[in-house]
Amino acid sequence: MRSDLIFAAMTHVSNRFLLTRLASKATRSFHRPNTRIEDTANEVFELFTHANPLAGVSYISNLQSFPCAAQGEINSCYEELEQSVA
């Protein structure tokens, strides 16, 4: 059943929304014409149970901090925002 495949895939991806996004992208890329989309989705979840789909993703390189938060100037940024709105 697909629910068993989904729960097995969640061992590698704990965030269910991220799992859904990864599965939909993988299903679109692996889908072959004249086959059922349900079968392709099941194949993707089977692949996710055996391998971590996030193994090659680097989180640190994708993160961008806010300039004020990086420098510890949260209060001054908040005051600047209030002045620009007023």
CB 60 within 8 A of CB 78: no
Q: Read off the DSSP letter of residue 51.
A: S
Q: Which long-range contacts (CB under 8 A, 24 or more apart) does 74-82 make?
A: none
Tell me what pLDDT residue 77 has.
Answer: 54
Closest CA to 44 of 13, 15, 72: 13
- The stretch 21-42 carries a mean pLDDT of 91
pLDDT, tens digit, for every residue of 36-81? 999 999 998 888 887 776 765 555 445 555 555 555 555 555 566 5
How many other C-beta atoms lie within 10 A of the C-beta of residue 26? 18
Identity of residue 81: L
For the chain, domain boundaries: 1-55
pLDDT of residue 15: 84
pLDDT for 80 equals 62
User: What pTM, to 2 d.p., does this model score?
Assistant: 0.58
